[in-house]
Structure 1
Amino acid sequence: MFSYRHAFHAGNHADVLKHTVLIATLDHLLEKEAALTVVDTHAGAGLYRLDGDYAGTSGEAAEGILRLLAPKPAAAVTPPAQVATKKIAKSVDAALAPALQRYLDVVRAFNPNGGARVYPGSPFITQHLLREHDKLKLFELHPTDSRTLSANIAQLEAGRQIAVLHEDGFGSATKFLPPPSRRALVLMDPSYEIKSDYARVLDFTAEALKRFATGTYAIWYPIIPRPEAHDLPRRLKTMATKAGKSWLHATLTVKSSKLLTTDSGETKRPGLPASGMFLINPPYTLKALLQPALEQTKDLLAQDRHAAFSLDSGG
């Protein structure tokens, strides 16, 4: 149950998708003055060293965030529209869409000396953007990651703004819904290392919607050759539609999912080829913001001719 460690995958293409969507969603929700509560059901360790043993073993960041941060040809530079931010120093990359530029600026804020030695997970990205009167509830059941998360969060000296709970997020996160301000974003990002995670996402989302129908719910999932993975977004769409809620579904594919054949004749899986983000009650501005960002991300992170993206919405 506890074999999965996100440190091996930090900064990969799935993180690029997840955190680009997360930041764009938070930016919109934080435009209103009323307090926002963010609930992260599977928070992980919070911060990751890309030059450490875990990330170095997998090398996945090299095909994700590190590729995006690679120097661009000077002749290609065309300044994009600037996106206002209070907490992040701006930079200008080669003709990047605002949502993708914003994501890179957030990552750079954790690496003031350049490069990307440190990759911020969802807890630190969220805290970086929140205001003093907002709240962050972090759930992590993995014993090692929970201890690391608590130690990392303690360095922020954020006081009562952040709560770290060594609990099953699917089992107890709904206790914070609805929050006093009636404004919340719930992020669900389980490992899916066991098939029951897919069903638990659906059960948790259904219960959360009953408790707090106007909250924004964001679910990341892997797109892999498993029936549950392909069934999850369809069932979430049905759930949102029956509840009369709007939804948005974004996917990013960087390579083929077909089995690879080695020189010795053995077959092996190619690693995670694609992932998706499904949102219920998304910001109305999100689809237009993500369209050019995902198109660029697909081109920049493509590993073969099967690279693609999709973006659908309804409600």
Structure 2
Amino acid sequence: MLSYRHAFHAGNHADVLKHFVQVQLHLYMNQKDTAYTYIDTHSGAGVYALDSVQALKSAESATGIAPLWNSSDAPAPLAAYLDLVRGMNPSGKMRYYPGSPYVADQVSREQDRLRLFELHPSDHRILSENFRKLDAHKAEQGERARGRRVIIEHGDGFASLKALLPPPSRRALVLIDPPYEIKDDYKRVRDALDEALGRFPSGTYAVWYPVLQRMESRQFADRLKRLPAKEWLNVTLTIRTPTPDGTGLHSSGMFILNPPYTLEPMLREVMPYLVQVLGQDGGARFTIESGAQVTGAAAGRNVGGVPRVPVGNARRASPLSGQGSLRLPGQSMPGREEGAARPARGPKPEGRPGERAAAGRAPGDRPAGDRAPGERAPSERAPGNRAPNKRAPGERSAESRRPQGAAPRSAAPGGAGPAAGTRSRRTPPGGRK
């Protein structure tokens, strides 16, 4: 969808937060001599006329830059942003407001590179025209033209981001602020950041987002916190209580991955002032939170700083549950107080070593296998007593001793086999019954 035009919202409270943070990020990047690349995935028109038909229709600048225009007591970090806006209005009348490409061009240095992307055809044309006019103005002042320092492309910033990372100088500042017209924008932002961090984990990534009633907006910051960045910083500015129907932009946020260490103290100095000047009712407030990415095995053990609770059988065996046999160092067994003595054992049964007590036998009963004195085991038979199936050496079986042609003893007369109703029996040794 290409219906969003930022000209209707230029200079509102969300722009104040976004561009103030952007100025501070550029100033921090400028502290090193090494050049860096600034990438703007959704550049917009670059410069906006606050007296245009679009801007006057919504008049959203009254919620942002207008109350700050004549302020003289602004904190020093905020004053740097206000000086930039006033600098593009030399007449003293508030007529123009800068977009993020203009902020980057004014605060960055000559050796730094700007890569600007805009998908909307009208805004891309206006962006190119604004930078052409800016070059002409610099030429009149005797300044060097931008040349290849600024490259403007008509395309999708999400798709183009990965091709620019890592930059040649290994330093980059990336600003991502889509219109969030569709729910898919939230997912595309997270996916783009995940891929960008995989290609260039040390870059600084700044994401602007609206705080709305829809589920995607409420969960957006929490999902960004789980990205594999070393550190993150999240700041939100709310100027009024949300309306019952949820219409209108009452709050927005900036989420920075790998932020400079100087940014959070500046925000704590500036945000109370912005709430005081821009707040419209008792619901005006700000939030600042920061954190570090948890990696390795600790990431699986903790969720939101709280140890994970084992489930199923693992809960009973876990040392965190206080049950089962698994114990942490210094953790006592269940039911045993720290330093408590072990329960005393009962007396051992009397008897010779190795003798076991026979439980449940009446007096005089012998267990199976016990023999009286002189009684032999079944295998210790007297000489001459043979097992029924044993034969002495040279002794023939009954069948072999039967005369040739004689019928078996159990056969019926006539040799017809066993008589009816009779069973054949084995002949005992010696041929006797």
- Once the 2 structures are TM-superposed, how far is the Cα of residue 128 of structure 1 from its aligned partner? 0.3
Deviation by residue 1:222-252 (Cα, 9 ceiling, x = unmatched):
000011111111011111xxx2511100000
List 4+ stretches of structure 1 deviating above 6 A.
Answer: none
Q: Provide the residue aligned with 2:243 in structure 1.
A: 258
CA distance, structure 2, for counterparts of residue 153 and residue 244 of structure 1: 34
CA distance, structure 2, for counterparts of residue 187 and residue 116 of structure 1: 26
Give the structure with the larger strand fraction: 1
- What root-mean-square deviation, in Å, do the aligned CA atoms of Structure 1 and Structure 2 show? 1.0
Q: Provide the residue aligned with 2:162 in structure 1.
A: 174
2:174 equivalent to 1:196: no
Q: Larger RCO: Structure 1 or Structure 2 (Cα < 8 Å, ≥ 6 residues apart)? A: 1
2:28 equivalent to 1:28: yes
5+ unaligned residues in a row in structure 1: which ranges? 73-92, 260-267
Aligned partner letter, 1:193: E
Is the CA contact (8 Å cut-off) linking 2:118 and 2:124 kept in structure 1? Answer: yes
Q: Secondary structure at the match of 2:4?
A: coil
CA distance, structure 2, for counterparts of residue 293 and residue 246 of structure 1: 21
Aligned partner letter, 2:12: N
Is the CA contact (8 Å cut-off) linking 2:272 and 2:286 kept in structure 1? Answer: yes
CA distance, structure 2, for counterparts of residue 37 and residue 310 of structure 1: 29
Q: Please give the residue correspondences for 1:156-305 in structure 2 after superposition, counting only pairs within 5 Å.
A: 156-157=134-135, 158-239=146-227, 243=228, 245-259=230-244, 269-305=246-282
- Once the 2 structures are TM-superposed, how far is the Cα of residue 258 of structure 1 from its aligned partner? 2.4
Q: Secondary structure at the match of 1:279?
A: strand
Aligned partner letter, 2:120: H
Aligned partner letter, 1:273: H
Shift of the 197–244 alpha-carbon distance from structure 1 to 2, 3 Å rule, reads closer
Q: Please give the residue correspondences for 1:88-107 in structure 2 after superposition, counting only pairs within 5 Å.
A: 93-94=72-73, 96-107=74-85
Q: Secondary structure at the match of 1:193?
A: coil
CA distance, structure 1, for counterparts of residue 48 and residue 125 of structure 2: 14
Q: Provide the residue aligned with 1:135 in structure 2.
A: 113
CA distance, structure 2, for counterparts of residue 269 and residue 288 of structure 1: 32
Q: Provide the residue aligned with 1:80 in structure 2.
A: none
2:62 equivalent to 1:62: yes
Is the CA contact (8 Å cut-off) linking 2:44 and 2:127 kept in structure 1? Answer: yes
Deviation by residue 1:166-207 (Cα, 9 ceiling, x = unmatched):
000001122111111000000000000011000000000000
Aligned partner letter, 2:81: Y
Q: Secondary structure at the match of 1:112?
A: coil
Q: Secondary structure at the match of 1:221?
A: strand
Of stretches 152-161 and 182-191 in structure 1, the one that deviates more from structure 2 is: 152-161
Shift of the 32–150 alpha-carbon distance from structure 1 to 2, 3 Å rule, reads same
Aligned partner letter, 1:288: P
- Once the 2 structures are TM-superposed, how far is the Cα of residue 269 of structure 1 from its aligned partner? 4.4
- Residue correspondences, number: 282
Shift of the 214–170 alpha-carbon distance from structure 1 to 2, 3 Å rule, reads same
Aligned partner letter, 1:24: Q
Q: Provide the residue aligned with 2:95 in structure 1.
A: 117
Aligned partner letter, 1:113: S
Give the greater-gyration-radius structure (CA): 2
CA distance, structure 1, for counterparts of residue 88 and residue 263 of structure 2: 25
Q: What fraction of aligned residue pairs are identical, expressed as a percent?
A: 50
TM-score, normalization by structure 1: 0.88
Aligned partner letter, 2:124: S
Q: Provide the residue aligned with 2:42 in structure 1.
A: 42
Q: Provide the residue aligned with 1:262 in structure 2.
A: none
Q: Provide the residue aligned with 2:399 in structure 1.
A: none
Is the CA contact (8 Å cut-off) linking 1:139 and 1:173 kept in structure 2? Answer: no
CA distance, structure 1, for counterparts of residue 133 and residue 165 of structure 2: 27
- Once the 2 structures are TM-superposed, how far is the Cα of residue 270 of structure 1 from its aligned partner? 4.4
Q: Secondary structure at the match of 1:314?
A: strand
CA distance, structure 1, for counterparts of residue 32 and residue 39 of structure 2: 18
CA distance, structure 2, for counterparts of residue 204 and residue 269 of structure 1: 28
Q: Provide the residue aligned with 1:146 in structure 2.
A: 124
CA distance, structure 2, for counterparts of residue 15 and residue 115 of structure 1: 19
5+ unaligned residues in a row in structure 2: which ranges? 136-145, 293-433
CA distance, structure 2, for counterparts of residue 174 and residue 98 of structure 1: 36
Q: Provide the residue aligned with 1:313 in structure 2.
A: 290
